[in-house]
Amino acid sequence: MPCHRPTAARNCRRSTFSSLMTVCVLAALGTLSTGCAADGADPDTDANVEAESVAAPVKLHGRFRFALEASRRAAIHDELAKKLSGAELDQAMKDVDAEADASVLEFGDDGHFVSWIGDKAILEGDYVATSTAKGALDVTVSGKTLRLGMPDDDTIIVHDPDKGALRFERE
């Protein structure tokens, strides 16, 4: 629904990015179970069978902040520009930047996971992380498994089927 009134525009700005992050995390948790591996491989290929054979438990811990990359920011801008313009669009983009900066994935030493936007937990549960291949982890939270890319110890890549690669960097 277009946002024509000031209050509706504010709600539109807020809901667009909140929905983006909520959908990102929730959809990403369903990604592997629907057959979309983080590296784009078919789950039934020999590479994935081989990866399963080398699976080993790994301790993933720390806080990882969302890094809003220029291409993703531009896509959000284009989406908002369909509904807003001028000062409202500028404010909406400031809100997007602030919310992106407040989005954190937290993997506790105690095996507890929380996805935060500011001080609001949008997803929470115990997790188990397993190393499946070089640069990849399978993380299970609340019974759903997600393959994360981990190109280094300080970066997590969540592969969202609709939004592409979403980068989180260790705080």
Q: Which domain holds residue 90?
A: 6-170
CATH number of residue 108's parent domain: 2.40.128
Query: Is 75 within a domain?
Result: yes
Query: Is 127 within a domain?
Result: yes
Q: Using DSSP, state whether 145 is helix, strand or coil.
A: strand
Between CA 146 and CA 88 the distance in angstroms is 36
Q: Using DSSP, state whether 55 is helix, strand or coil.
A: coil
Confidence of residue 57 (pLDDT cuts 50, 70, 90): low
Query: Is 43 within a domain?
Result: yes
Query: Is 30 within a domain?
Result: yes
Nearest residue to 129 (alpha-carbon basis) of 82, 64, 68, 70: 64
pLDDT tens track for 86-117: 999 999 999 999 999 999 999 999 999 999 99
pTM over 0.75: no
Domains contained in the chain, number: 1
Between CA 84 and CA 8 the distance in angstroms is 11
Query: Is 1 within a domain?
Result: no
State the average pLDDT for the chain: 75
**Alpha carbon 68 to its chain's center:** 11
Q: What are phi and psi of 112, to 5 degrees?
A: -110, 135
Between CA 153 and CA 167 the distance in angstroms is 13
Which pLDDT value is given to residue 100? 94
Query: Is 144 within a domain?
Result: yes
Query: Is 10 within a domain?
Result: yes
Between CA 107 and CA 92 the distance in angstroms is 30
Planar angle of CA 110, 26, 1, nearest 5 degrees: 145
Give just the sign of the alpha carbon dihedral 121, 122, 124, 130.
Answer: negative
Q: Are 140 and 40 in contact (CB under 8 A)?
A: no
